[in-house]
């Protein structure tokens, strides 16, 4: 999908060059581009980190979403348009993870600037296997929910494939940088191998049968599969779907029946967290934290996100 010929790519650069001064005048901002660098725009901050790891100092990366934003409901503001128009490449997850972002990106993308949907590319190449929401029938109050779960990056083996998609996309828009991207990509894969070992070692502290996850939204199917755990229940399949009183009662029963040790809130969610806290308080169980779609000051990279999650799972489920 990124096989833009050189001529078309050149046209995209020209288009960005021509449009930029008008937009700068209109917005009154300062240019984000640094001379000679490939300008990459991502949806989530965690994807911006992955692009930085692979792109190094040949790329200038920014995310449309600020740290702490929920991709399912967040809509980038008008100030994002200039970054999209000027981008050499735009990289998102796809699979309807970030509908608000894609709605702004698609009409503002300069002609022939690639829009790379990483999970879709990796799945189309047969490198990652996509899951359906509620595959195990675990969704309290949402028995008929269907659709593909977009949160594939939360398993470390899948993150390797995201890195590969990023590498290939960067080489396509910046062939001169191929050697740099190759070496950064190899180094990042080595870091992800170390991360994989760390996660497996850390969660091995969780006894058989206690690897049960209850969370605010349905983001942890891939990580559960990767760890051999089970997602028992979620407050909402996707944020913003307010559960009814009977949904909450069903959820509480499911959590109680499963005998879970702890439930997991996510830093970027509000209303769903209140439901989860109420339930945990009623059942007298612990509320812990897992990161999924957002970064913050405590967790600033993908590797930190996964290490945090592994530590928290061990701390909360191994007792």
The site for Zn ion (CB under 5 A) is made up of 219, 293
Q: Strands of the chain (E only): list them.
A: 38-42, 59-63, 89-92, 115-117, 131-132, 148-149, 212-217, 230-236, 262-265, 286-289
- State the minimum distance, in angstroms, from the CB of residue 93 to Zn ion: 9
DSSP 85-105: HH-SEEEE--TTS-HHHHHHH
Q: How far is the CB of 289 from Zn ion (least distance, A)?
A: 15
- E strand map for 178-242: 212-217, 230-236
Minimum CB distance to Zn ion smaller for 219 or for 276: 219
Cα gap 75→296, rounded to integer Å: 19
Minimum distance between the CB of residue 71 and Zn ion, rounded to whole angstroms? 6
10 Å CB burial of residue 246 (0-12, 13-18, 19+) is exposed
- The residue behind tokens 């917005």 is 27
Q: How far is the CB of 219 from Zn ion (least distance, A)?
A: 4
Nearer to Zn ion, 66 or 207 (CB): 66
For residues 280 and 263, what is the distance between their CA atoms, to the nearest angstrom?
7
Closest to Zn ion by CB, 49 or 293 = 293
State in angstroms the smallest separation of the CB of 72 from Zn ion: 6
Q: How far apart are CA 63 and CA 65, in angstroms?
A: 5
Dihedral of the CA atoms 284, 288, 294, 297 (nearest 10)? 130
Min CB(274)–Zn ion separation in Å? 18
C-beta of 181 vs 220, nearer to Zn ion: 220
Nearer to Zn ion, 147 or 259 (CB): 147
- Least Å distance, CB 221 to Zn ion, is 11
Whole-angstrom distance, CA of residue 191 vs CA of residue 78? 37
- Considering the complex, state which of residue 219 and residue 263 has its C-beta at the smaller distance from Zn ion: 219
Looking at beta carbons only, is 207 or 240 nearer to Zn ion? Answer: 240
- The number of helix segments (H) and strand segments (E) in the chain equals 11, 10
């Amino acid at each position: 999908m990124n096989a833009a010929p050189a001529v078309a790519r050149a046209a995209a650069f020209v288009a960005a060059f021509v449009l930029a001064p008008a937009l700068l005048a209109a917005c009154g901002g300062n240019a984000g581009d640094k001379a000679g660098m490939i300008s990459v725009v991502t949806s989530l901050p965690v994807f911006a980190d992955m692009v930085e790891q692979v792109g190094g100092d040949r790329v200038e990366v920014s995310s449309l979403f600020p740290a702490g934003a929920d991709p399912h409901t967040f809509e980038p503001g008008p100030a994002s348009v200039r970054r999209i128009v000027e981008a050499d490449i735009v990289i998102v997850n796809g699979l309807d993870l970030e509908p608000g972002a894609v709605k702004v990106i698609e009409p503002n993308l300069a002609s022939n600037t690639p829009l790379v949907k990483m999970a879709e590319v990796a799945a189309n190449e047969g490198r990652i296997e996509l899951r359906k929401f509620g595959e195990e029938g675990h969704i309290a109050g949402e028995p008929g929910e269907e659709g593909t779960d977009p949160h594939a990056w939360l398993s470390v083996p899948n993150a390797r494939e995201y890195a590969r998609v990023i590498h290939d996309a960067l080489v396509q828009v910046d062939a001169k940088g191929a050697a740099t991207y190759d070496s950064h990509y190899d180094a990042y894969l080595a870091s992800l191998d170390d991360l994989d070992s760390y996660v497996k070692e850390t969660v091995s502290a969780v006894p058989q049968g206690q690897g049960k996850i209850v969370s605010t939204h349905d983001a942890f199917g891939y990580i559960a599969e990767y760890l051999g755990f089970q997602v028992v229940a979620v407050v909402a399949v996707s944020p913003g779907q307010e559960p009814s009183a009977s949904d909450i009662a069903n959820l509480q029963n499911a959590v109680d029946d499963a005998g879970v040790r702890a439930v997991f809130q996510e830093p970027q969610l509000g209303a769903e967290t209140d439901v989860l806290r109420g339930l945990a308080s009623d059942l007298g169980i612990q509320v812990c934290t897992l990161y999924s779609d957002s970064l913050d000051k405590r967790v600033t990279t993908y590797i930190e996100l996964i290490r945090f999650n592994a530590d928290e799972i061990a701390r909360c489920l191994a007792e």
